[in-house]
Amino acid sequence: MSISTVGVIGAGQMGNGIAQSMAMAGLEVILNDIDGASIERALATIQKSLTRMESKGKLSEPAEQVMGRIKTSTELSALAQTQLVVEAVSENEALKKSLFKQLDELCPAETILASNTSSISITRIAAATNRPDQVIGMHFMNPVPVMKLVEVIRGLQTSDEVNDKIVALVEQLGKVAVGSEDRPGFIVNRILLPMINEAVFALYEGVGEAKAIDDAMKLGTAHPMGPLELADMIGLDTCLSIMEVLYEGFRDSKYRPCPLLRSMVDAGYLGRKSGQGFYSYE
């Protein structure tokens, strides 16, 4: 079965980027979210991105033609005829399992179910379905249309055929598939999030102010963004969730979330998406 129609669940930052990348690769896309306003914002974001790319000569076809391949729905039932569904909702294991259970009942047996989770076990997510061999991780990087990497994570029961299809799809998207074992945080966040967490500890302990910490890492280690700037872009709630997965998964104190990170999430300071994180955003 070839993949021609893809469902994307979640119209947030990652979901709209995945939908755009799929449509740019010639695939029909159904973008799903329970919130119609979120879908409208996602479409506006995609349109703006495609228009900018078109003006720079980075599209092989008109932006409107790409947009024409993106349909939307607030009902999961719209995904019943897709060959692949990519889940891109909040980093919450219970929510993901509930979605995968519903998708398992809704979609044909041959439909591949993928999660964009950045840290949660694919094997555990797959256990919520009756098709664990058809469940896989596709961890895209942010911003999706720009970043080349996709971590492909096999659960314990993911079949070779499904893995091969997803790797081929990643290549069709013009991206690079890197395989990871199903371990907490996979590759990128196993390394990245502890660094961000340590930067938060440095701020918490008064080693330096936020700008000083970020400037030091940018100028001293050639990072394009400082770790606290990056945390604001990712979302502090997502950073905290990943650190909790790492801490619970390894039971090692080196993954303990910084108390300041937890306090900021409790206060609703989530970064760019809330207007306030380690920096203020108008």
Q: Pick out the residues of the known binding site for CoA.
A: 49, 56, 118
State both tokens at 51.
């228009």
Contact between 243 and 257 (Cβ < 8 Å): yes
Q: Is 223 a catalytic residue?
A: no
Task: Round to whole Å and give the CA distance between 94 and 242.
Answer: 14
Q: Which whole-number Å values give the CA distances from 242 to 2, 97, 190, 213, 262, in the listed order?
A: 33, 17, 9, 21, 12
Task: Round to whole Å and give the CA distance between 193 and 257.
Answer: 10
Q: Pick out the residues of the known binding site.
A: 10-15, 33, 49, 56, 91, 96, 118, 142, 273
Closest CA to 182 of 115, 235, 238, 137: 137
Q: Is 105 a catalytic residue?
A: no
- Given the residues 32, 115, 189, 197, select the one marked as catalytic: 189
Give the relative orientation of helices 210-221 and 188-204 as an angle to the nearest 10 degrees: 130
Task: Round to whole Å and give the CA distance between 53 and 60.
Answer: 10
- Given the residues 16, 115, 151, 180, select the one marked as catalytic: 151
- Given the residues 139, 197, 229, 241, select the one marked as catalytic: 139
Q: Pick out the residues of the known binding site for NAD(+).
A: 10-15, 33, 91, 96, 118, 142, 273
Q: Is 118 a catalytic residue?
A: yes
- Given the residues 16, 21, 116, 118, select the one marked as catalytic: 118
Q: Which whole-number Å values give the CA distances from 156 to 126, 153, 182, 234, in the listed order?
A: 9, 10, 8, 28
Edge to edge, the sheet with strand 70-73 lists 70-73, 28-32, 5-9, 84-87, 112-115, 135-140, 149-154, 176-180
The most distant pair of C-alpha atoms in the chain lies apart, rounded to whole Å, by 56
Q: Is 61 a catalytic residue?
A: no
Tell me the catalytic residues: 118, 139, 151, 189
